[in-house]
Every structure is written in structure tokens, then in C-alpha cells.
Amino acid sequence: MAKSTDYEELKWAWVGFRDAVGRANKPHYIRYVELANEIAMANGHPDQGAYWRSKYEVEDLEGDAYKIYQRILPLYKQLHAYVRRKLSIYYGEEIDLKGRLPACVLGDMWGRFWGQIYRLVVPYPDTPNIDVTDEMVKQGYTPERMFNMTDEFFTSCGLIPAPQEFWDHSLIKKPSDGREVVCHPSALDLLNGKDFRIKMCTEVNMFYFLIIHHEFGHIQYYLQYKDLPLIFRDGANNGFHEAVGEVISLSVGTPKHLFEVGLLEENIEDEEIDINFLLKTALNTIGTLPFSLALEQWRYDVFAGKVDQDNWMKRWWELKETVVGVRPPVERTEEDCDPGAMFHITIDYPFLGYFLRTIMQFQFHKALCEAAGHTGPLHRCDIYRSKEAGSKLTQMLRMGKSKPWRDAMEAITGQREMSADAIMEYYAPLMEWLEKTNAENEEYIGWDGDSARPNSASVLLLVISAFVWYFSGP
């Protein structure tokens, strides 16, 4: 899915995986929904989705998430239109230049992270390559070296080094002895105050280099709150844990940092390099926000009984088409169960935290950059070796879940609410470039067209608009 540009091959893999995994999981998920709701109701919640949302202590969490979505939607639509044009070079008529993207062409099995298609959509291919995979291979990088460099990043900021138990017990490479393991990257807290592990089958490339930093963020959080009572050993809310690792990745991926660690030959502050960098990071941040929101909205609807099992796929693709702007590469029926092919759904992992973490990580990043004394555009900031940034981060990490999340947010950012201001500031140069480039190419922005399937909110807006027009006169 990451490397092929053969549309038929991508479609074959996409369909085959869902036929083998998703369909088989449907009866299990039907039973899971029943049991999860039974437990939630026994604990005073209307359903499992309501239980998950209660942890945020926000009156209308869904509403707040959609407000943030609306704030980033103009940037997402510009990115979507640009990517759509670029992919049409490779997939021809399979790409509707005014429509939705086929879900099989976005770089992974789920269309969650678009970073793997960067090579196909890079704005300025003749500038120095900021995907340093080739350089890592050239320099003989190993998974062990990548892990050690990550640990050194955290300690350079005055944070806690990974303990010996971590190095003794972590699984960082796929076993060569024939053992079957789940390779999905995970960080584990064994809850004894000293045994923290990462489990992943590391490959030598930049994608995994950033993932390692993300997983170490979880480890650092564990280390910082390990002495709290067990009930408080967790992130301030479900988004905090995910945001901590990602905020470090924002520094690690900068040309400045890659030069600092010897993976780029020179640190050039150049507009074309900036746009390449911002586009590359946007594929994995801006590109994934609607995906996360649509996935969680589907589960909320299922748990709340708003959609029955005979209409699961209809609702799944309704959200995919309207919120994300993607379509299935082949017709789907209720015999299928595409949600059942998603790892996080099968392991009962709440997903809204990924959406919120992407927003919060930029709030954290801006605050840490200010602590580090950074001047200039936010996207060029690298907090490597900043003890001041590390100290500010530590203040928040040590709190674990012992304080309301707004207190933890205030400790690091000075703010008490989640806001899209920082992420929009970070990507402001990219937004300006996308608007200009798309206008020059006369791109259609959005994916409504003749095949749009408006949601109930869109229909309501149309009705209200017609009502106002009728009574106010032309």
C-alpha cells in the first residue's frame, strides 16, 4: 500500500484485507457492542461512547470536535485538492478531479496517514530530500541506533532516560526465530514503577524514526508519573498521552534537527524546502484529522443505537464520503464490515484522542518553543537540547491524571481550552501556497459535485436558507 502505484494491485490488497479480516470480525463486534454498552450502563452511562466522552469532562465534546474540524476544514480541502491533482498523474481516470479520493491510494491500508505518498505529491522534487530514509540506509542505521538517538533527544532536554529494564525487555525488531508477534507499535507500562517497554518491528526509514519518538513520548509520560497512586497514572485526558510523543516528532522532523544529527548535509532556510517540509508533515496531521473524527462518530452512532447492524456500512461510508472526502474503490454492501478491519476498533481503543492530540500537540509545541526561546516561524522550531522546554514539559507530565486536564493544559500552554490557533499558525505558509497553487491550476476545492451525499446538517442548512430567503424576499 505504501509503495505500489498500480491501481489494480492497490484495489486488490484493499479489498482482500477487508474480505479476510473485516467480514470475519462483524459477528464479534456485534456482540462486543452489546457487552460494552451493558458495562457502560451498569456504571451509570447511557452507552459506551458516552462513557468514553465522560472522561474529558466536557459538556458537548462532539460539538467541540466539530468546531475544530470546521476550523481546519479549509486547509484540509486545499490539501485534498492538491493531492487529488497529483495522484491523477499516476491513476488517471480513477481520480475524479472534482470528487472524492479512492480510499486505496493514500499510502496505507486504511487511508489514515498519507505520509507514504509524499514522494508522489512532493511540491519541489529537485530540492534536498527531507525524507532522510535513503541517508539513514547509507549511514548504516539500525533499529538499535534509532532507539538510542531517540532516548538521547529526551535526555538532552533534561528528561528521564529509559531505564535498563526498558532495554532488557523491549521488542524493537521483528523476531527472527519464527515467533508470531503483533508488530503494531505500542508502548507498555507494566505498572510496577520500573518496567516500561516498547513493542514494534522497526524498519530503517524516517517513518519509523518518527514513530519511535512518538512511542518514547509514552514512555517518558510513564516515567514522570510512576510515583503517583495507580489511579492517577495516566494522561490528563485520552489525547494527552498521544500528543506528548507527537510534539517531539514535530521537532525531530525539522530540517534543522535532521542537519543537527547528521542526516541532512546542510540546514538551509529556503521557501521551497519549507513548503516540502510542511506538506510532508501535513499529510500525517491535517490529512488524518477528518479520518479520526469520522471513525469515532461511527462508533458513537453504533453505541448509541442510532444505526443498526444492517446499516453499519451505509453509515460508515456516508461519514467517509462527507467528512473525509474518500470513497471505496469497489462497491460495498452490508455483508462487508470495513470498520472490523481497523486495528483500533478491534482492540476497543477510543479514537477521538488521536483527533484531539493532533490539535493539542501544536498547542504544546508552540508553548515549548516559546520556552526554548525560539524566534521565527513556528514550523522551524526544534526544542532539542533545550532544558527550559524540557522543564515546562516535565511540569505537565508529572501531574499524570491527578488534576483536571485543563489544569495540565494550563501548566504547559497557559491556556485552559483546546484550540486550533496553533496548528493553523504552524501551517499558515502552506495554506497560502496551496491556495495560490490550486488557484493557478483552477482546482475544484472540495468534493461535493453532483455525487455529493449531504448530511442532515447540510440539508437543514439548505432548508433554513430557503426559509429565510422566502420570508425576507429577493
Specify the pLDDT at position 448. 75
Specify the pLDDT at position 245. 85
Separation of alpha carbons 266 and 255, rounded Å: 8
Q: If you average pLDDT over residues 349-374, what whole number do you get?
A: 96
Q: If you average pLDDT over residues 8-27, what whole number do you get?
A: 97
Model pLDDT for residues 287-336, shown as the tens digit of each residue: 999 999 999 999 999 999 999 999 999 999 999 999 999 999 999 999 99
DSSP E strands, 214-332:
326-327
Residue 286 has pLDDT above 50, yes or no: yes
Model pLDDT for residues 148-159, shown as the tens digit of each residue: 999 999 999 999
Residue 453 has pLDDT above 90, yes or no: no
The mean-pLDDT minimum among 3-12, 290-299, 321-330, 450-459 falls in 450-459
Separation of alpha carbons 296 and 130, rounded Å: 33
The band of 129, judged by pLDDT with boundaries at 50, 70 and 90, is confident
Residue 454 has pLDDT above 90, yes or no: no
Specify the pLDDT at position 466. 36
The band of 268, judged by pLDDT with boundaries at 50, 70 and 90, is confident
Specify the pLDDT at position 460. 42
Mean pLDDT (the chain, rounded): 92
Separation of alpha carbons 318 and 458, rounded Å: 13
Specify the pLDDT at position 56. 92
DSSP letter for 197, please.
E
Percentage, residues of the chain above pLDDT 70: 95
The band of 20, judged by pLDDT with boundaries at 50, 70 and 90, is very high
Q: If you average pLDDT over residues 345-364, what whole number do you get?
A: 93
Separation of alpha carbons 225 and 319, rounded Å: 38
Specify the pLDDT at position 66. 95
Residue 451 has pLDDT above 60, yes or no: no
The band of 462, judged by pLDDT with boundaries at 50, 70 and 90, is very low
The band of 465, judged by pLDDT with boundaries at 50, 70 and 90, is very low
Model pLDDT for residues 172-194, shown as the tens digit of each residue: 999 999 899 999 899 999 999 99
Three cell numbers at 454? Answer: 449531504
Residue 214 has pLDDT above 50, yes or no: yes
Specify the pLDDT at position 318. 96
Neighbours of 471 (CB within 10 A): 7
The band of 473, judged by pLDDT with boundaries at 50, 70 and 90, is very low
Q: If you average pLDDT over residues 271-280, what whole number do you get?
A: 95
End-to-end CA distance of the chain: 52
Specify the pLDDT at position 19. 95
Separation of alpha carbons 404 and 409, rounded Å: 9
Model pLDDT for residues 231-260, shown as the tens digit of each residue: 999 999 989 998 998 999 999 999 999 999
List alpha helices for 285-376, DSSP H.
289-303, 312-319, 343-346, 352-371
List alpha helices for 170-285, DSSP H.
206-225, 238-252, 255-260, 271-284
The band of 269, judged by pLDDT with boundaries at 50, 70 and 90, is confident
Tell me the residue type at 429.
Answer: P
